[in-house]
Chain A
Amino acid sequence: MIKFTALNKWYGAHHVLQDINLAVAKGEVVVVCGPSGSGKSTLIRCVNGLEKFQSGSLIVDSMSVANGANLRPLRMELGFVFQQFNLYPHKTALENVTLAPIHVRKLPPKEAVSRGKALLEKVGLGDKFNAYPQQLSGGQQQRVAIARSLCMQPKIMLFDEPTSALDPEMINEVLDVMVALAKDGMTMIVVTHEMGFARKVAGRVVFMDKGAIVEVAEPEAFFTAPENERTREFLGKILHH
Chain B
Amino acid sequence: MTMDLLLDQVRGIVQYYPVILKGLGVTLALSFIGIVAGTTIGFLLGIGRASSNKWLAFVVGAYTDIFRGTPVLVQVFVVFFILPEIGVELDAFTAGAIALTNIAACFISEIVASGIRAVPVGQIEAAASAGLTRLQQLWLVVLPQATRMIVPSLVGQFVLLVKDSSVVSAIGLLDLTRSGWVIVQNIPNGLLVFSVVGVGYFLICYPLLHLSRRMEKP
Contact, CB under 8 Å: B130 / A86: no
B122 touching A99 by the CB < 8 A rule? no
Interface flags, A204-241, vs B, CB<8A=1, else 0: 00000000000000000000000000000000000000
Q: Quick one: given A86-B123, A88-B123, are A48 and B141 in contact (CB under 8 Å)?
A: no
Q: Is the CB of B141 within 8 A of A72?
A: no
Q: How far is the CB of A121 from chain B (nearest CB, A)?
A: 21
B148 / chain A contacts, CB cutoff of 8 Å: 90
Expressed in whole angstroms, the Cα–Cα distance for A100 and B129 within the complex equals 10
Residues of A within 8 A of B132 (CB): 100, 103-104
Contact B145 A75 (CB under 8 A): no
Cα-based distance from A87 to B122 in the complex (angstroms)? 9
Known: A89-B145, A103-B136. A152 touches B128 (CB 8 A): no
A-contacting residues, B90-146, CB 8 Å: 120, 122-123, 125-133, 136, 140-141, 144-145
Q: Are A99 and B125 in contact (CB under 8 A)?
A: no
| Interface presence of A53 (CB below 8 A) | no
**Judging by beta carbons under 8 Å apart, are A82 and B126 in contact?**
yes
- A84 beta carbon closer than 8 Å to chain B: yes
> What chain A residues lie within 8 Å of B123 (beta carbons)?
86, 88
Per the bound structure, the CA–CA distance linking A229 and B136 in Å amounts to 48
Within 8 A of B (CB), among A55-79: 72-73, 75-76, 78
Chain B 151-164, CB-CB to A under 8 Å as 1, else 0, gives 00000000000000
Contact B125 A50 (CB under 8 A): yes
Cross-interface CB contact of B126 among A72, A76, A88, cutoff 8 Å: A88
CB contact under 8 A between A86 and B126, given known A99-B140, A103-B136, A103-B140: yes
Chain B 24-35 per-residue mask, 1 if CB under 8 angstroms from chain A, else 0:
000000000000
| B130 lies within 8 A of A75 (CB) | yes
Q: Report the separation of the CA atoms of residues A78 and B140 in the bound assembly, to the nearest whole angstrom.
A: 20
Measured in the bound complex, the distance between the Cα atoms of B140 and A82 in whole Å is: 19
The yes or no answer to A148 lying at the interface (CB within 8 A) is yes
Contacts of B125 in A (CB 8 A): 50, 82, 86
A80 at the interface (CB under 8 A from B): yes
Q: Given known contacts A86-B122, A86-B123, A89-B145, is B128 in contact with A50 (CB within 8 Å)? A: yes
A75 touches B128 (CB 8 A): yes
Residue of A50, A76, A84, A99 with most partner-chain B CB within 10 A: A99
A76 to B128, CA, bound (A): 10
Contact A50 B136 (CB under 8 A): no
A80 → B minimal CB distance (Å): 4
CB distance from A204 to the nearest CB of B (A): 24
- Minimum CB–CB distance from A111 to chain B (whole Å) comes to 17
A152 and B126 contact, CB distance less than 8 A: no
Q: Which A residues touch B127, using CB under 8 A?
A: 88
| Interface mask (A83-114 → B, CB under 8 Å = 1, otherwise 0) | 01011111000000001100110000000000
State whether B130 touches A100 (Cβ < 8 A). Answer: yes
**Chain B residues whose C-beta falls within 8 Å of the C-beta of A84 in the assembled complex:** 122
- CB neighbours (8 Å) of A149 from chain B are 130
* 8 A Cβ contacts from A94-148 to B: 99-100, 103-104, 148
State in angstroms the CA–CA spacing of A208 and B183 once bound together: 82
Instruction: Give Cα distance in the complex from A104 to B134, angstroms.
Output: 12
Task: Give chain A nearest CB distance to B20 CB in angstroms.
Answer: 43
Structural contact, A88 and B130, CB atoms closer than 8 A: no
Q: Is B131 a contact of A104 with CB atoms below 8 Å? A: yes
Would you call A80 and B131 a contact (CB within 8 A)?
no
Residues of B at the A interface (CB closer than 8 Å) are 120, 122-123, 125-133, 136, 140-141, 144-145, 148
Q: With contacts A50-B128, A80-B129 known, what are 20 further pairs, Cβ within 8 A?
A: A48-B129, A73-B131, A75-B130, A80-B126, A82-B125, A86-B120, A86-B122, A86-B123, A86-B125, A88-B126, A88-B127, A88-B141, A88-B145, A89-B145, A90-B144, A103-B136, A103-B140, A104-B131, A104-B132, A148-B130
Binding site for B on A (CB under 8 A): 48, 50, 72-73, 75-76, 78, 80, 82, 84, 86-90, 99-100, 103-104, 148-149, 152
